[in-house]
Amino acid sequence: MENKEYDVVIVGSGIAGSIVAKMLTQAGKQVLLLDAGLEAGMAFDEEGAYKNYQDYMKSYFMAQAKVPNAPYPNVKDAQSPNVLDMTQINGKPDTKGYFVQEGKLPFASDYARAAGGTTLHWLGTCLRMLPNDFKMHSKYGQAVDWPIDYEYLKPYYEMAEREIGVSCDVSEQKYPNMGNNFFGKDYVFPMLKIPQSYIDKSFIEGMEGLKVSLNGDVYTPWCTSTPQGRNSTPNKKYRYANTAWNAAKQKLELQPFAKESDEYVPVGAIWDPYSGQRCEGNASCVPICPVQAKYNALKTLKSAKKEHLTLLSQAVATEIHIDTGNGNITGVSYKQYPHADSKDYKSGTAKGKIYVLAANAIENAKILLASGACKTSGQVGCNLMDHTVLLTWGLMKDKVFPFRGPGSTTNIPTFRDGDFRKKHAAWISPIDNWGWGWPTGSPDTDLDHAVSTLNLFGKELRTYIGDTLSRQLLLHFECEQLPLKTNRVTIDDKYRDNIGNYRPVIKYDVDDYSLKAFKAAKSVSDQIFAGMGVQDFTNYPSDEPDYVDGFVFRGAGHVVGTHCMGTTKQNSVVNSQQQAWDHQNLYLVGAGNMATLGTSNPTLTLAALSFAAAENILKALK
Ligand X SMILES: Cc1cc2nc3c(=O)[nH]c(=O)nc-3n(C[C@H](O)[C@H](O)[C@H](O)COP(=O)(O)OP(=O)(O)OC[C@H]3O[C@@H](n4cnc5c(N)ncnc54)[C@H](O)[C@@H]3O)c2cc1C
Residue 134: which of 609, 512, 610 has the closest Cα? 609
- The helix (H) or strand (E) run that includes residue 410 is strand 408-412
**471 vs 583, beta carbon nearer ligand X:** 583
In degrees and rounded to multiples of 5, residue 329 shows phi and psi of -85, 135
267 touches ligand SF4 (CB under 6 A): no
User: 546 to 585, contacts with ligand SF4 by CB under 6 A?
Assistant: none
**65 vs 248, beta carbon nearer ligand SF4:** 65
14 class by beta-carbon count within 10 Å (0-12 exposed, 13-18 middle, 19+ buried): buried
165 touches ligand SF4 (CB under 6 A): no
Selection from ligand X, ligand SF4, none that 408 binds (CB < 5 to 8 A by kind) is none
- The helix (H) or strand (E) run that includes residue 391 is strand 388-395
The torsion region of residue 91 among left (phi > 0), alpha (psi -120 to 50) and beta comes to: left
Among 28, 195, 273, 281, which residue sits at the site for ligand SF4 (rule: CB under 6 A)?
Answer: 281
Among 293, 317, 517, 618, which residue sits at the site for ligand SF4 (rule: CB under 6 A)?
Answer: 293
Q: How far apart are the first and last CA of the chain?
A: 23
Q: Which residues contact 17 (CB under 8 A, 6 or more apart)?
A: 10, 11, 33, 35, 117, 297, 356, 358, 359, 589
Min separation Cβ 451 and ligand X, Å: 30
Min separation Cβ 283 and ligand SF4, Å: 5
How far apart are alpha carbons 198 and 443 in whole angstroms? 18
289 touches ligand SF4 (CB under 6 A): yes
User: 387 to 416, contacts with ligand SF4 by CB under 6 A?
Assistant: 405-406
164 touches ligand SF4 (CB under 6 A): no
279 touches ligand SF4 (CB under 6 A): yes
**25 vs 296, beta carbon nearer ligand SF4:** 296
**277 vs 596, beta carbon nearer ligand SF4:** 277
| Cα atoms in the 13 Å half-sphere on the side-chain side of 289 | 30
| Count of residues that interact with ligand SF4, criterion CB under 6 A | 14
Min separation Cβ 281 and ligand SF4, Å: 5
How far apart are alpha carbons 116 and 56 in whole angstroms? 13
191 touches ligand SF4 (CB under 6 A): no
Selection from ligand X, ligand SF4, none that 283 binds (CB < 5 to 8 A by kind) is ligand SF4
- The helix (H) or strand (E) run that includes residue 438 is helix 437-440
233 touches ligand SF4 (CB under 6 A): no
Segment contacting ligand X by CB under 6 A, of 110-118, 262-270, 454-462, 561-569 = 110-118
Min separation Cβ 300 and ligand X, Å: 10
At 379, which amino acid appears? Q
Among 177, 233, 255, 284, which residue sits at the site for ligand SF4 (rule: CB under 6 A)?
Answer: 284
**469 vs 606, beta carbon nearer ligand X:** 606
Q: Which residues pair with 475 in a beta bridge?
A: 392, 431
Helix (H, G, I), strand (E, B) or coil at 298: helix
DSSP letters, 112-129, are --STTGGGGS---B-PPP
125 touches ligand X (CB under 6 A): yes
Q: Could you list the beta-strand ranges (E) of 211-368.
A: 212-214, 217-219, 224-225, 240-246, 251-256, 309-312, 315-322, 329-336, 346-357
Selection from ligand X, ligand SF4, none that 368 binds (CB < 5 to 8 A by kind) is none
73 touches ligand X (CB under 6 A): no
Give percent helix, percent strand, percent coil of the chain, each to the nearest 5. Answer: 30, 20, 50
- The helix (H) or strand (E) run that includes residue 474 is strand 472-479
286 touches ligand X (CB under 6 A): yes
Contacts with ligand SF4, 351-390, as mask; x by CB under 6 A: ----------------------------------------
At 132, which amino acid appears? N
Segment contacting ligand X by CB under 6 A, of 247-255, 259-267, 346-354, 599-607 = 599-607
601 touches ligand X (CB under 6 A): yes
Among 9, 21, 31, 123, which residue sits at the site for ligand X (rule: CB under 6 A)?
Answer: 123
- The helix (H) or strand (E) run that includes residue 163 is helix 150-164
Min separation Cβ 402 and ligand SF4, Å: 13
Helix (H, G, I), strand (E, B) or coil at 75: coil
Name the residues that contact ligand SF4, by CB under 6 A: 230, 279-285, 289, 291, 293-294, 405-406
Residues of this chain that bind ligand X (CB under 6 A): 11-17, 34-37, 68, 109-111, 113-115, 117-119, 121-125, 286, 316-317, 358-360, 363, 367, 557-558, 590-591, 601-604, 606
